[in-house]
Amino acid sequence: MKGFDALLFGEELRYSEDHEWVSTSGETFQVGVSDYAQDQMGDIVYVELPEVGQTFAKGEQFGTLESVKAVSELYLPVGGEIVSVNPALADSPEQINSDPYGSWLVTIKPSDPEELERLLSVAAYRQLLQG
């Protein structure tokens, strides 16, 4: 596992306490897992994601990541409708380990864009990890 100083952070991202990140792109948000989360999981071997068109509330489970160590649930940091899933992860889920901020999981159309403001800034997320 990486030491804290070796972890990568996306300065322009918002984070959930469950270690998902959110980036904004116009009217849609992309969601992925943080470098910390993928590092804790180890080698990711399978990703289960929802169908396009499904709607989830903030904090609701929307998928799972399976690693050689365990299966971890994914929780949507902002409620909304799934408008796309990352097709590359079906054949190459290990991309999350090598590029956690380039390997987004889903794109959503948020039901309440203001929920983004209630997520952690990168500084607050760093503090959460440092305890």
| pLDDT tens digit sequence for 20-34 | 999 998 899 999 999
Q: Is there a contact between 80 and 55 (Cβ–Cβ < 8 Å)?
A: yes
Where are the chain's structural domains?
Answer: 4-130
* Residue pLDDT, tens place only, 39-89: 999 999 999 999 999 999 999 999 999 999 899 999 999 999 999 999 999
Burial environment of residue 97 by CB neighbours within 10 A (0 to 12, 13 to 18, 19 or more): middle
Statement: 4-130 belongs to CATH 2.60.40.10 = no
Model pTM?
A: 0.95
The two beta strands, 28-33 and 106-110, are antiparallel
